[in-house]
Amino acid sequence: MDENSFYIIGLSYKKADVITRSKFSLSKKNQENLLLEAKSKNMDGLLVVSTCNRVEIIGFAKNPFELISLLCKYSKGTVDEFSKVSFVYKNKEAVKHFITIATGLDSQILGDYEIVGQLKDSFQFAKKFGTVNAYIERLYNVALQASKETKNKTSLSSGTTTVSYAAIQYIKDNIKILKNKNILIYGLGNIGSITAKSCAKYLQDTNITITNRSIEKSINLANAIGVKNIDYHNLDKHIQTADVLIVATGANKPIITSDHFNNNKKQLIIDLSIPKNVDNEVKFLENKTVIDVDILSQKTKNTIENRKKQIPLVEAIIEKYKKEFLEWLGFRKSTPAINNLKQSLESIQKDALHNYLKKHQNSNLDEAEEIASQIVNKIVSKFAMHLKAEQTRTNQSIQVMNEIFV
């Protein structure tokens, strides 16, 4: 019987607010350290997903606390805090949860497929450090197939409702006259770059400026989407003239503080970062409005209501691919046991035929072998069907088969 089980442990927007999620967020370096420690402990197969909406560890362990301990060690969260807002899935339920994530059904904004890119990044990152096994690779590929079918055969993603687009909608809804307004985007990671592109596409009458610590990246994106780029070192000056400041850096603490604002200019500050990059004190300044990803998630309610009608279709897709994966898993687990069973029965068959022919020397050998082989194949087929059944406790059945026939 397998010593380890497949678990997914973590927390998400469903129970944990943005402050709590910030505590458990994992930097790339800490993700690397976590994976390397798991590998050194011979933990077979591990992925780490750390986004603005969720932090999850996916992999094999003797018990879920092994994974929880790793998460708490490399984040700022505690076991006690985790226990209040967390979830733990095991084996089949963990498989279903992983596929569900990939379809966008579990996203904070229903149908948001940004998570698919984040899953791909997590998978490649884990592969780089050698913590991807055959089980996780197969599950990852099945999840991507489910995601693709959801996009192609349902309307779960109808209308654009990502965090970055929600920011655009918020700007449109709350600034009456957008023409010639100054929009400054600071931070050009995945979300920052997407938001910059969305601004260039949907807010064409505004003056869009971008900046990033990596000057080359900022210049290249500015040229690609036709907006202005400024040197990061001139950030403070441009914050003063911005009507809208969008912050999307990868800093692990607030880097925009009240010191950046020395006038009473009416300004909208949108913080797309996890952990928060805008200090809480900024929202108390006069004429300053600060919103974060939790506020943005309330946008586009009509679109979400329409998407909810697609949920039964998506759930059917999830069940389809869950079943496909579990069949593969059952086949993978049961193949050695089935082969051993067949060899054992063929040995019994051989002995039985030998004894039979001793007593019935004039019998037709070919006919006797054909009948015996049919019986063996039917028995093997029955066992194979039993092991494939979803309700079967595969490990237990294999153990019984091995005890009887091997």
State pLDDT tens for residues 9-36.
999 999 999 999 999 999 999 999 999 9
Strand, helix or coil for residue 252: coil
Taking alpha carbons only, the member of 12, 43, 32, 6 closest to residue 140 is 6
| Angstrom distances, CA of residue 133 to CA of 45, 60, 68, 136, 143 | 5, 10, 20, 6, 15
Taking alpha carbons only, the member of 314, 247, 316 closest to residue 279 is 247
Strand, helix or coil for residue 43: coil
Q: Give the pLDDT band of residue 1 (cuts 50, 70, 90).
A: very low
In this model, does residue 359 exceed pLDDT 80? no
* Locus of tokens 């979803």: 390
Rounded-to-integer distance, Cα 344 and Cα 3, Å:
26
Task: Over range 200-212, report the average pLDDT.
Answer: 93
More confident: 208 or 347: 208
The one-letter amino acid at 107:
S
Q: pLDDT digits over 150-175, tens only? A: 999 999 987 656 778 889 989 998 99
In this model, does residue 313 exceed pLDDT 80? yes
Decide: 338 and 399 in contact? Cβ < 8 Å: no
Rounded-to-integer distance, Cα 6 and Cα 11, Å:
17
Q: What is the mean pLDDT of the chain?
A: 88
In this model, does residue 109 exceed pLDDT 90? no
The token duo for 327 is 């069949």
The one-letter amino acid at 194:
I
In this model, does residue 262 exceed pLDDT 70? yes
> Which stretch, 85-94, 165-174, 273-282, 327-336, has highest mean pLDDT?
85-94
Phi and psi for 179 in degrees, rounded to 5?
-60, 130
In this model, does residue 400 exceed pLDDT 70? no
Phi and psi for 228 in degrees, rounded to 5?
-85, 145
Q: Residue 283, class by beta-carbon neighbours within 10 Å (0-12 exposed, 13-18 middle, 19+ buried)?
A: middle
Specify the CATH architecture of the domain 5-159+308-320.
2-Layer Sandwich (3.30)
Strand, helix or coil for residue 124: helix
Task: Over range 340-355, report the average pLDDT.
Answer: 74
Give the CATH class of 163-299. Answer: alpha beta
Give the residue numbers annotated as catalytic, written as ranges. Answer: 52
The model's pTM is 0.61
Rounded-to-integer distance, Cα 174 and Cα 266, Å:
12
Task: Over range 221-231, report the average pLDDT.
Answer: 94
Q: 5-159+308-320 with 163-299: one CATH topology?
A: no
Length of the chain, please? 406
Rounded-to-integer distance, Cα 325 and Cα 141, Å:
10
Residue 71, C-beta contacts closer than 8 angstroms, at least 6 positions apart: 9, 10, 24, 26, 34, 55, 57, 77, 82
Q: Which residues pair with 56 in a beta bridge?
A: 10, 49
H helical segments located in 75-104: 79-85, 92-103
Residue 355, C-beta contacts closer than 8 angstroms, at least 6 positions apart: none
In this model, does residue 390 exceed pLDDT 60? no
| Domain regions of the chain by residue span | 5-159+308-320, 163-299, 329-405
pLDDT for 129 equals 96
Measured in whole angstroms, the distance separating CA 180 from the mean position of its chain's CA atoms is 39
* Angle CA 135–138–143, to nearest 5: 120
